[in-house]
Amino acid sequence: MAMQFVRYEDFGAKGDGHTDDMPAIVAAHAHANEAHLPVKTDPDATYYIGGKNLTATIATDVDWTTSRFIIDDRALENRNASLFVVPSLLESIPLSLTELRKGQRQLEVTLPCDCLVFVRNENKKMFIRKGVNASSGTVMRDCFVTRQNGEVLSFIVWNFAEITGSYAKPIETETLRIQGGQFTTIANQEEAKYNYHARNIHIRRSRVELSGLTHTVEGEGETGAPYGGFLSVSEAAYVTLRDCRLSGHKLYHTVTARNEISPMGTYDISLNTAAYINLINITQQPSIMDSRYWGLMGSNFCKDLYLQGCEISRFDAHMGATNVTVRDCSIGWQRLQAIGHGEFVVENSTIYGSALFSLRYDYGSHWDGNLTIKNCVWQPTSKRPAVIAGANEGNHDFGYDCQMPTNIVIDDLLIDDTKATEIEEIYLLNRYDGNYAPGKPFPYQPPRHVRYQNVRTKSGREVVLYPQAELYADTVIEAL
């Protein structure tokens, strides 16, 4: 009888929780890929993965059932080696694009199939970060899904007067499915500095659905290096992470190059240069309000992110997201933080923190687009919380002009202020510049139009529009 699926035990795995099964796991997936067979594990097995520099390539469906995986990170040959990588087997297509316009919806190209297109201008720096983790910026870039006829989905977010590199990755037509598995990481004990660990599942192909996975972290001690995301997605489109229970990582601090103490970001979900990514029913342990543990997810350069039914301590878009929907979610102590472009929608959700919508000050508090908040609950912290908050004093070049969302609509917002006894005032919009004066070298643009209705506090406290009228002198604010 022909083999219907591949088992790790067929290639020497013991599944006893002590023997290093990673060589067998690598061999099993290599055979499954060659034979075009799915992989299925023993539901009762516990696979131990030691510190060897090995990565298993997944190119067929995987069912990890209820199998346990123990990932021992205490002695590693290569902290940058993923445990599992899901690559695209389709060859990239070189392009010769020379310029693009912001908002452009059509390329003068013909592609063999729908593709995820990447463009860069190596001669332009953007996201020139401010603050304790200040940086000289990163290369100007964008990614977007393009149809065979050159139609651009979503939109291009920057004006590219020059393009130094461009290529397209074909988007797969069939979905690869990965499900199950109970993973436990025994945390590294390294010095607390920015030596990110990539002992993860790294998805680098389009059309993947990963579901039913759990990840816990054990053995976090007095010191440890950060993690870049146990579930990592990059250079891919149409990826769904569904029904997973993940872990926050212990918060460690480090000394920066400027000799300042800084908390280190460390994640269980990392999304980078990707489009049409769905996070459905993602929950975390411990509590989303436990400030001993860093926020669950971070992202960079992503488009069309959709979160539904998630309970996580943080949503974060570092170097820009385009078009984000957060629906039926609870976002915990590290709150909802973002910069980016397009439409940001928060609906039927509960948000915690000093602001409901926090524009990241270290990247200029920039959102080039619109914000809609509908049927939400916000539990504020701090003395003077604001529904929408940013910080930009107009004295730093971030590599782009900075602004608050152009149009803001707030429809049905309950502010539960009964648990924060230190509150003095609650604002709709915050004081983004504590030293406001005209003529700043890099002026910040407040909203053009703010409309709100049924915004109320649980205590009956008044919501003040803003703490400083001159900041919003050109903003039309109206109650509906």
Q: E-strand spans in 195-252?
A: 201-204, 208-211, 214-218, 228-234, 237-242, 245-247
Q: Is 110 exposed, middle or buried (0-12, 13-18, 19+ CB in 10 A)?
A: exposed
How high is the mean pLDDT of the chain?
A: 96
Residue labelled with tokens 């063999």:
112
**pLDDT in the model for residue 1:** 44
Does 246 score more than 90 pLDDT? yes
**Segment 114-151, tens digit of pLDDT:** 999 999 999 999 999 999 889 999 999 999 999 999 99
Residue 178: count other Cβ atoms within 10 Å of its Cβ.
Answer: 23
Report cis status (omega within 30 of 0) of the bond before 286. Answer: yes
| CA–CA separation, 187 and 70 (whole Å) | 11
Does 417 score more than 90 pLDDT? yes
Residue labelled with tokens 């803003």:
466
Return the half-sphere exposure (C-beta side, CA atoms, 13 A cut-off) of residue 358.
Answer: 24
Overall pTM > 0.85: yes
Q: Which two tokens stand for residue 426?
A: 């609650």
List CB contacts of 101: < 8 A, sequence separation 6 or more: 156, 159, 160
**pLDDT in the model for residue 260:** 81
Return the half-sphere exposure (C-beta side, CA atoms, 13 A cut-off) of residue 351.
Answer: 30
* Confidence label for 256 from pLDDT (cuts 50, 70 and 90): confident
**Segment 73-102, tens digit of pLDDT:** 999 999 999 999 999 999 999 999 999 999
Q: Which two tokens stand for residue 330?
A: 């609870």
> DSSP letter string over 94-151?
E-----B-TT--B-S---SS-EEEEEEEEEEEE----STT----EEEEEEEEE-TTSB
* Confidence label for 2 from pLDDT (cuts 50, 70 and 90): low
How long, in residues, is the chain?
480
Does 398 score more than 60 pLDDT? yes
Residue 157 · residue 191 · CB < 8 Å: no
* For the chain, counts of helices (H) and of strands (E): 1, 38
| CA–CA separation, 213 and 203 (whole Å) | 14
Stretch 168-184: mean pLDDT: 98
What is the H or E stretch that residue 33 is in? helix 22-35
**pLDDT in the model for residue 132:** 87
**Segment 351-392, tens digit of pLDDT:** 999 999 999 999 999 999 999 999 999 999 999 999 999 999
Stretch 160-171: mean pLDDT: 98
| CA–CA separation, 317 and 69 (whole Å) | 30
Residue 200 · residue 81 · CB < 8 Å: no
Residue closest to 115 by CA, chosen among 150, 85, 160 = 150
Residue labelled with tokens 């053009």:
448
**pLDDT in the model for residue 458:** 96
